[in-house]
Chains A and B, each alone.
Chain A
Amino acid sequence: KNQVEQSPQSLIILEGKNCTLQCNYTVSPFSNLRWYKQDTGRGPVSLTIMTFSENTKSNGRYTATLDADTKQSSLHITASQLSDSASYICVVSADDYKLSFGAGTTVTVRA
Chain B
Amino acid sequence: DTGVSQDPRHKITKRGQNVTFRCDPISEHNRLYWYRQTLGQGPEFLTYFQNEAQLEKSRLLSDRFSAERPKGSFSTLEIQRTEQGDSAMYLCASSFLLRDEQYFGPGTRLTVT
A-side residues, CB < 8 A to B, are: 4, 31, 34, 36, 41-46, 49, 89, 91, 93, 96-99, 101-104
Asked if B101 is an interface residue, CB under 8 A from chain A, the answer is yes
A-B contact count (CB 8 A): 50
Chain B residues packing against A (C-beta within 8 Å): 4, 6, 31, 33, 40-45, 48, 89, 91, 93, 95, 98-99, 101-107, 109
Contact in complex: B44, A101 (CB < 8 Å): yes
**Chain B min CB distance to A12 (Å):** 16
Assembly CA distance A41 to B48 (angstroms): 23
**Are the CB atoms of B99 and A93 closer together than 8 Å?**
yes
Beyond the given A42-B106, A96-B98, could you list 4 further A-B residue pairs with CB under 8 A, ordered by the A residue number?
A41-B106, A41-B109, A49-B101, A104-B42
